[in-house]
Structure 1
Amino acid sequence: MKWFLLLGAVLAVSAVDRAKFRRCIDTAFCRRHREDKSLTDYKIVSNSLKFNDTALHAILKNKENSLVLDIVALKDSTIRLVIDEFEGKEARVRTRWQPLDALAKAEPEQQKIKKSEVGKEESWFETEDGHKVVVQHKPFRVDLYAKGTLVTTINSRNWLRFEHFRKGKKTKDGDGFWEEKWGDHKDMKPHGSSSVSVDIALLGFKMAYGLPEHSETYALRSTNNYEPYRLYNLDVFEYEINNPMALYGSVPYLAATNPRRTLGVLWLNPSETWVDYDISRADLGVVGKLVETEDERADRIPQINTRFISETGLIDVFFFLGPKPHDLFRQYSKLTGVTPVPPQFSLGYHQCRWNYKDEKDVREVIAKFDENEIPMDVIWLDIEHTDEKRYFTWDKEKFPEPKQMVEDVAKKGRKMVLIVDPHIKKDKNYTIYKEARKKGFLVKELGGKKTFVGNCWPQDSVYIDFTNPEARKWWSEKFALDKYEGTTEDVHIWNDMNEPSVFNGPEITMPKDLVHYDDREHREVHNMYGFYQHEATHNGLIQRSERKLRPFVLTRAFFAGSQRTAAVWTGDNAATWEHLKASIPMLLTLSTAGIPFVGADVGGFFKDTDPELLVRWAQAGAFQPFFRAHAHTDTKRREPYLLDENFRAAYKKAIETRYKFLPYIYTIFYEHSKNGKPVMRPHWLELVEDEVGYDEDRQWLVGNAILVKPTLEAGETRTSVYLPGKREIWYEFDTGKARPSPGAMQIETPIDKIAVFQRGGTIIPIREMDGPRASLAETKADPVSLYIGLNNRGDSANGTIYLDDGETFAYEKGEFAFWGFTFKKEHDYLFTITSKNLDKKGKLESEILIDKIYLRGVKFYPQTAHIYLDDFVPEDLPFEHDRDSQQIVISNVGAYLTKEWKIDLHG
């Protein structure tokens, strides 16, 4: 009965119960740091400051504490600042944990210091790539100069605080230092509080972005007289919008930009973190005179003030100095990694709900998609497919022949995703539980001896300690086909509830004083718990196929570096127009913070949706990286084939649009794996000169070439669009009509249309789907058309396409093709379109043909068109030229995507 009461209570929640979640004022360490405005007056200890080839080292000291400072020059315009406890003559009470697994390499590559000097009041060094770090000795402060311009200063407010571990309790340590209560829960701190904080100011910037995950605006807003942004992975049912409370994942990273330079800051700390943020002027701080120039007074230079406050761990901060937005994304991705090229099916349309009831239900859904000729690549099963919530098992009554079902799903190239959560049913007859307990792979209670038991979907549950490398290895092995009964290589995995969710725990998560591997308290590792689970899952799927097939893993909880092994979705949203709007800044924020494979539940997870909202959400999802419809168990069924005819046709068109754009989207994912730029982009990444669009979060760019503005209001049939950039040309994708930027416009958007524009100067590959396709696997031989949008001068455009087999790792051995296309004005009477192999390491030769070429913004009058293929003998090409719309359509091109060819257009 206890279980049913709990489930009923959970499902009855119609909105987030904020009383279950703490505010800063309810959190002792945050309250202490935020309320204490006294100056800490750390200074460099005389004669302690030293340089080596790549770093500065010094001891910091004030009347209460001694600390170790290291500032390291890293390659590619990156600076690292680390502050730790000073060991001194006695060993530290406890070593602080560093989350180095979040980094692509535990030891980032360093660069040599070019010049350095130790002075009486300040010391400095210059890097080989032209940046300068200045350390003021008393009071301690660090100023970073990017190519001569002061861009950030650390501890300029003199608020550096570092609570050190203690051996014994002292009454003066302050409230909540040794133990803390929240509701019925008591958090014990055997070594005392170990919280840290420091202020960081960003000079010359009006806006900053990042700090996912919050349901907030894209541009961060001031926390003066308001809650700080909280980073603490939590299971929040139906979260509120416009609220800085913590959600499912955390990336303590922010980016700022202006037309001249871009800056990124990563606070590498996975413990509970609060971030204050406000905007002021440089003349109001202590560095005003340092930034003032003859041309610009300090009172006209904006300054962003931040303060990071973490419950424990080190102060370990990385500064990425740009200067351009493209540089920033490259620098950050070098440190934390990129998303490898995903399996192509994962970019198709996903159909999910909690839950498809049984094998018959699954087959009926598949059959209805086929009957209505709606493409779909993946069908999902939630927790009800298991045997009483025992993961890696099946409910044998509902799914008596799971392997046969999976094989039937795969007949048309489709895949299945199964949920595997981190909580394990406490059941002596359950193999996973027995093994994990015997091997010591479970999280322990305070003291480290007794296994922690919490409440989750299976009722009494234990939790795998994913911080233990051996536990991760063991977990990975569980996905082997001979161990995970009923699965095949067409099954992929969904890791949910991995914040971790504990229904009877404080804030619906683990108590902080639980004990993990190597005697680590849960408070030290909390925000990386889910990271370690999805990493182990990812590795398990790779091992399952002996590293032949690319895996797909979806996670709800995440941290910096999660992009290397999982996609992310925004959790338990609701079927409201407000949540549709909120999904855009949430996804842009995740993309900015280095996680590109992101999406939101199409239609909203909670509540019944109406057909108009469902269609409009599908249109938005079609142009977002991860495209999945999902719904709560209490909602009415809403598969697209159930809609009335006009809505069904519009939903189907949205999915087909996604499949047509997949060659372009897949190419962007490949390019991300090389340069770190996300698929879904804010305006400033590509058009940094246009400051008007800096805080735009109702529309976005897909790669560098597509602008998308979904319909976000009920009953709206005309959509307002801001065309960003200065002296850019944008083409309405459906009509090819040219529109200049910058400026706002309205476009007709009946229920079956979304506002999509192509940027001038780009070439986009679009798949021609001449008939119904069940999945992406059935589109592999379909021809491609090139859409060429000429720049505002009408003389150039370029684009790329990436091809591989879509499923294996063979591309790593050269089985890929990366080709470029160029339109160029040779002279007044000759214009050429050419193809070129951009990476000769790629050996793939594709049979895919180019069917048509669409030219937009044509300012010349063509007389003839010829194509030169392998034999370099010109062949006539048929074309149509519409002078009024300035467009040309070339038909029956017949050129291979992976062969060199040239088209001449003679004026």
Structure 2
Amino acid sequence: MWRLLVVCLLLGTLEAVDRQNFKTCDQSSFCKRHRAVTSPTGYEVVQDSIKINDTGLHALIKNKDTTLKLTIVTLQDSTVRVLIDENEGALRKRYQPLEALVEREPKQQKVKKTKEEASVTKILTTDGNRVVLQHKPFRVDFYVKDKIVSSINAKETLHFEAFKKKVLLTDREKGFWEETWKDIKDTKPHGSSSVGVDIAFVGAKHVFGIPEHAESYSLRDTKAYEPYRLYNLDVFEYETNSPMALYGSIPYLVGVHQKRSVGALWLNAAETWVDIDPTTADKGGLTKEVLDAETKPRQVPQHNARFYSESGLIDVFITLGPQPNDIFRQLAALTGVTPLPPAFALGYHQSRWNYKDQKDVKEVHEGFVKNDIPLDVLWLDIEHTDKKAYFTFDKDNFAKPEEMIKDLSEQNRKLVTIVDPHIKKDSKYYIYKEAKKLKYLVKDAKDAIYEGNCWPGDSTYIDFLNPKARKWWSDQFAFDKYKGTSKDVHIWNDMNEPSVFNGPEITMHKDAKHHDGFEHRDVHNVYGFHQHSSTFEGLKARSNNEVRPFVLSRSFFTGSQRTAAVWTGDNKADWAHLKQSIPMLLSLSTAGLPFVGADVGGFFGNPDEELLVRWYQAGAFQPFFRGHSHQDTKRREPWLFAANTTDAIRNAIKTRYAFIPYWYTLFYEHAKTGKPVMRPFWMEFIEDEPSWDEDRQWMVGNGLLVKPVLEEKAKELSIYLPGKRQVWYDWETHKARPSPGAVQIPAELNTIGLYHRGGTIIPKLSEVKLTTKENHEQPITLYIAVNQKGDFANGTIYLDDGESYSYEKGDYAYWGFTFKREHDYLHTITNKNLDKNGKFDSDVYIDKIVIRGAKFYPRNAHIFLDDFSPEDLDFEFNRENFVMEIANPGAFVTREFRIDLHS
């Protein structure tokens, strides 16, 4: 029966997602109740309950029905935490997903000053910010440099359903004690325990974040629309331009203002809905706080975000910036960064559901070599296993996995295998047998082992909320347990929302039971987080913490960036999904998850050759670069198409590899600063308000602007160049363009809009080999884009061995390059060691330097090396495009030099 169910599901979704399989807010009783709260809920501070301490305060707040416990804590680096929980004596403990944080208890910071008055209590932080607790009505306001930037409960919508003893059902409590969805009953043995409140972003013209949704980057007004839903779900061929829930959830929002950007993290792992209300500050409770001699509240934009979660407590972190770089650093301090990935992970990945057998894998591998197309990783989907039993290989089709892996490894390539969280119910299957014996499986509402249908048929599910189960899972990746694997095998965690084909909304029943007595409703959005984190730890441990793991996960939560890359799931081979991938990836990057990508070409359906080429061109400039497709699609290896199509795909992949020194450096810098690799315009050009909501273009780091062709049969590509007093250089022609402004270029088959930002220096491989390993010590070309004034540019490069943790012991190099006008007749190019703790001495040398915007008409050039005796350099200078090229300067990246350019 289950096989028929799976086939029906797949066939149905090949047309489009069946929207009726997934709830709307009106079909979710707690969402409906919260949205019905339109008048003030009447909470106020209990006056004599306020207790001030070194880092904040505690108090009680109450309305006519409920008394709650309030905690305000000031944290390091302009961050404030606000917690609202039930008062002492609650019937049940509420779940907090503290594992999502870098530290379960983030470092607190002593306050500078506090002042308790009759109607307010004020906290002055060490960073110079203010937190003001309004007593009646209850509200928490946040100030940066005496300007209010955010407020909790400004709309007085705080609604908190405390646990209570079960009573007779009434109409008012419909859905409170039990709920049925498509004939599946949610027993709700503890009743409803939902929480919700509004958060204002004062001055914000846009709010961004709360992935994952197939929506615009700038979040839309939901007053007359469905709220955004955060509930990890397996959604085949999802709709575009929809707020419906997808595979992962990061409940983090950023409100953007030219001078004072603010972030808010809603730390709750239960089903969550978010309403967005763009308004102005004169509408609501903040009029007086905004009003001053120069500002009228109706002139101040404001976005109100209203969060409702089915269970858990209210735990909000406000990151006060004030600048974009501050926002990303503050979020990273709370939820972490992506550790430096192995270099191969930045190369091209080739996948399919499924490569049939070892012969198929070998032929695909040889095809890339024969056709001179770079490749670093081949992937195996579920069919490689022994009848969908993970940690195994099919005894017939993959009888000798060691030989297959050895063949790939000898040519510097890796293998990724899939390991999903559902466990085949089979008494002969060692994983099931052991997990059952150790009681590491999720239970149902009646305390029996929870069972559901997934790829193996009858399946059970590991209880990843149990720390012992997580450790056991990690141990399964040891080489003596996952037989046939080696250090060159990495892991893909799919279906980990978790997907349950016969469950409500194709996921686990909410009344299923996890470790420590929590229901699945409490922990749903963090389930996949715990799986991929355990997988990462297992891969790291199997090599004695020597080899950096690569893990891809479909499900994610805040903090997932610490152990996984993610992709946008089961997209479709059409132009709409290509376009949609960009705002989806920008939203993920904004929410702290930088290692992201989309299935190139679309998972479902067969792209025509034009669409496939355009998707490769876009994917080449996105952090995770993988081609992947459904088993019912036509084969898509790049050489199976017309010659010009293959050439264009090869060119896109080689372009990706050429920029890997830049990508690798950006990932290193992300790990230090929290700044994303794929960036929205507002992060780099906060002064250029019209560019903030741009979601058809993006930045790679601070130096590359990318605009792919996104329209079928496009004759021309229009590109917006953001920023004020900036200059941009067309990567191919070197032609300079001032900004802000737009340019149009012909949309030829190999066209991708690529512009180099003036004032930056980008390292690029001079020649591309077929793997990242082979490219590891290849010479580079330095591309210098001179700023608008013509006097400066700088850039960086990071180097290490690309695969081990030796860099943590100082085996790395981080160097900076600077172009500078010393005076009217002399310009210099220098390099400098930016981190003297790095001891990595590389043989990578610079075999060419290209200077864009060289308006100084050079007469001669020479270089000073270690002995500081000048050597003449050959160069060419193009007076039309002001481009100077220096060939063979003889300089090494990790050894100091100075080049003098005399004019």
Task: Report the TM range for the smaller structure's normalisation.
Answer: over 0.9
- Residue 689 of structure 1 and its aligned partner are, at CA, apart by 0.3
1:43 maps to a residue whose letter is E
- Residue 169 of structure 1 and its aligned partner are, at CA, apart by 2.3
- Residue 501 of structure 1 and its aligned partner are, at CA, apart by 0.1
1:32 maps to a residue whose letter is R
Q: Distance in 1 between matches of 2:198 and 2:794?
A: 44
Q: Distance in 2 between matches of 1:575 and 1:324?
A: 38
Does the 8 A contact of 1:169 with 1:192 survive in 2?
A: no
Question: Are 2:159 and 1:161 equivalent residues in the alignment?
Answer: yes
Match of 1:85 in 2: 86
Q: Distance in 2 between matches of 1:324 and 1:138?
A: 32
Counterparts of 1:218-229 in structure 2 under 5 Å?
218-229=217-228
Question: Are 2:807 and 1:811 equivalent residues in the alignment?
Answer: yes
Match of 2:731 in 1: 733
Q: Distance in 1 between matches of 2:895 and 2:666?
A: 21
Q: Distance in 2 between matches of 1:878 and 1:170?
A: 90
- Residue 12 of structure 1 and its aligned partner are, at CA, apart by 4.0
- Residue 258 of structure 1 and its aligned partner are, at CA, apart by 1.6
- Residue 554 of structure 1 and its aligned partner are, at CA, apart by 0.1
- Residue 781 of structure 1 and its aligned partner are, at CA, apart by 2.3
Match of 1:69 in 2: 70
- Residue 774 of structure 1 and its aligned partner are, at CA, apart by 2.4
1:23 maps to a residue whose letter is T
Q: Distance in 1 between matches of 2:779 and 2:308?
A: 54
Query: SS in structure 2 opposite 1:125?
Result: strand
Match of 1:856 in 2: 852
Q: Distance in 2 between matches of 1:792 and 1:553?
A: 42
- Residue 153 of structure 1 and its aligned partner are, at CA, apart by 1.3
Q: Distance in 1 between matches of 2:742 and 2:295?
A: 31
Does the 8 A contact of 2:442 with 2:512 survive in 1?
A: yes
2:274 maps to a residue whose letter is V
- Residue 184 of structure 1 and its aligned partner are, at CA, apart by 1.4
Match of 1:575 in 2: 573
Q: Distance in 2 between matches of 1:719 and 1:212?
A: 28
- Residue 119 of structure 1 and its aligned partner are, at CA, apart by 1.3
Does the 8 A contact of 2:786 with 2:853 survive in 1?
A: yes
- Residue 763 of structure 1 and its aligned partner are, at CA, apart by 0.3
Match of 1:22 in 2: 23
Deviations 1:181-221 (A, max 9, x none): 00110001111100001111111111010010000000000
Q: Distance in 1 between matches of 2:157 and 2:168?
A: 23
Match of 2:868 in 1: 872
Counterparts of 1:672-751 in structure 2 under 5 Å?
672-751=670-749
Does the 8 A contact of 2:2 with 2:453 survive in 1?
A: no
Change in Cα spacing, 1:481 to 1:823, as seen in structure 2 (3 Å) is same
1:195 maps to a residue whose letter is S
Match of 1:54 in 2: 55
Question: Are 2:776 and 1:780 equivalent residues in the alignment?
Answer: yes
Does the 8 A contact of 1:252 with 1:268 survive in 2?
A: yes
Counterparts of 1:473-872 in structure 2 under 5 Å?
473-769=471-767, 773-872=769-868
Q: Distance in 1 between matches of 2:431 and 2:174?
A: 42
Does the 8 A contact of 2:255 with 2:303 survive in 1?
A: no
2:41 maps to a residue whose letter is T
Match of 2:40 in 1: 39
Structure 1, unaligned runs of 5 or more? none
Match of 2:890 in 1: 894
Q: Distance in 1 between matches of 2:594 and 2:212?
A: 14
- Residue 305 of structure 1 and its aligned partner are, at CA, apart by 1.1
1:870 maps to a residue whose letter is D
Deviations 1:730-780 (A, max 9, x none): 00011111010001110123111211000000000001116xx22111112
Counterparts of 1:180-219 in structure 2 under 5 Å?
180-219=179-218
Q: Distance in 1 between matches of 2:613 and 2:57?
A: 57
Q: Distance in 1 between matches of 2:598 and 2:735?
A: 31
Match of 2:247 in 1: 248
Q: Distance in 2 between matches of 1:776 and 1:545?
A: 21
Query: SS in structure 2 opposite 1:727?
Result: strand
Q: Distance in 2 between matches of 1:876 and 1:576?
A: 54
- Residue 168 of structure 1 and its aligned partner are, at CA, apart by 2.4
Q: Distance in 2 between matches of 1:292 and 1:205?
A: 16
Q: Distance in 2 between matches of 1:139 and 1:832?
A: 62
Q: Distance in 1 between matches of 2:650 and 2:432?
A: 44
Deviations 1:627-659 (A, max 9, x none): 000000000001111111101000000000000
Structure 2, unaligned runs of 5 or more? none
Does the 8 A contact of 1:783 with 1:848 survive in 2?
A: yes
Deviations 1:2-33 (A, max 9, x none): 42453343244221101000000000000011
Q: Distance in 1 between matches of 2:68 and 2:499?
A: 36
Q: Distance in 2 between matches of 1:885 and 1:44?
A: 67
Q: Distance in 1 between matches of 2:400 and 2:158?
A: 61
Q: Distance in 2 between matches of 1:574 and 1:537?
A: 28
With structure 1 as the length reference, what TM-score do the two structures score? 0.99
- Residue 894 of structure 1 and its aligned partner are, at CA, apart by 1.3
Deviations 1:146-181 (A, max 9, x none): 121101111112111110111222435611000000
Does the 8 A contact of 1:349 with 1:655 survive in 2?
A: yes
Q: Distance in 1 between matches of 2:776 and 2:514?
A: 47
Q: Distance in 2 between matches of 1:608 and 1:542?
A: 37
Match of 1:405 in 2: 404
Counterparts of 1:271-310 in structure 2 under 5 Å?
271-310=270-309
Query: SS in structure 2 opposite 1:340?
Result: coil
Query: SS in structure 1 opposite 2:774?
Result: helix
- Residue 295 of structure 1 and its aligned partner are, at CA, apart by 1.8
- Which stretch of structure 1 is more off in the superposition, 422-431 or 11-20? 11-20
Query: SS in structure 2 opposite 1:113?
Result: coil
1:819 maps to a residue whose letter is W
Does the 8 A contact of 1:576 with 1:613 survive in 2?
A: yes
2:176 maps to a residue whose letter is F
Does the 8 A contact of 2:491 with 2:551 survive in 1?
A: yes
Query: SS in structure 2 opposite 1:778?
Result: coil
Q: Distance in 1 between matches of 2:424 and 2:227?
A: 36
- Residue 558 of structure 1 and its aligned partner are, at CA, apart by 0.2
Match of 2:124 in 1: 126
Percent sequence identity over matched residues? 60
Match of 1:10 in 2: 10
1:523 maps to a residue whose letter is R
Does the 8 A contact of 1:154 with 1:198 survive in 2?
A: yes
- Residue 284 of structure 1 and its aligned partner are, at CA, apart by 1.2
Counterparts of 1:346-357 in structure 2 under 5 Å?
346-357=345-356
Does the 8 A contact of 1:443 with 1:465 survive in 2?
A: yes
Does the 8 A contact of 1:412 with 1:778 survive in 2?
A: no
Does the 8 A contact of 1:412 with 1:777 survive in 2?
A: no
- Residue 303 of structure 1 and its aligned partner are, at CA, apart by 1.1
Q: Distance in 1 between matches of 2:620 and 2:37?
A: 48
Q: Distance in 1 between matches of 2:789 and 2:747?
A: 29
Q: Distance in 2 between matches of 1:798 and 1:58?
A: 51
CA RMSD of superposed structures (Å): 0.9
